[in-house]
Amino acid sequence: MRPRPRRLRIGKGGSVPTVWVPSLMRSLTDGQAQVQAAGQTVRDVLDNLEATFPGFRSRLCEGDRLRPDMAVAVDGQIYPEGVRATVECGSEVHFLPAVSGG
């Protein structure tokens, strides 16, 4: 049985973004593959995740930016602006290893 994501509500019944937790980070979320965290940007979401799951931000960021080997996708689109990318109620946020090609 899969653990259910933590559900937080804001405003008039709107749900907050869902974050898909990379498998190597699930020890921080008690094994949960999905969690929810409020925010209008990826930075806000990360701040809220860090408050609930200490260590989350340090695994993904260097200073105030995503690590160079990480990327963020919001609603299926990879955003080069990283933590500045905007999110909406109900958005899905995925943190992925960055892929480079040649």
**Does residue 4 form part of some domain?**
no
Is residue 102 situated within a structural domain? no
User: Side chain identity at 28, as an amino acid letter?
Assistant: L
pLDDT digits (tens, 9 = 90+) for 68-93: 999 999 999 999 889 999 999 999 99
The whole-number pLDDT of residue 101 equals 60
Q: Is residue 62 part of a domain?
A: yes
What is the bridge-based pairing of β-strands 18-20 and 92-97? parallel
Give Dmax (Cα) for the chain.
47
Q: pTM for this one?
A: 0.80
Mean pLDDT rounded to a whole number for the chain: 85
- pLDDT bin (cut points 50, 70, 90) of residue 7 is very low
3: in domain: no
- In which band, very low, low, confident or very high, does the pLDDT at 100 lie, cut at 50, 70 and 90? low
Full domain range(s) for residue 43: 9-97
CATH of the domain at 13: 3.10.20.30
Q: What is the tally of structural domains in the chain? A: 1
What whole-number distance in Å separates Cα of residue 88 and Cα of residue 67? 23
Q: Within a domain: residue 28?
A: yes
Residue 65 in any domain: the answer is yes
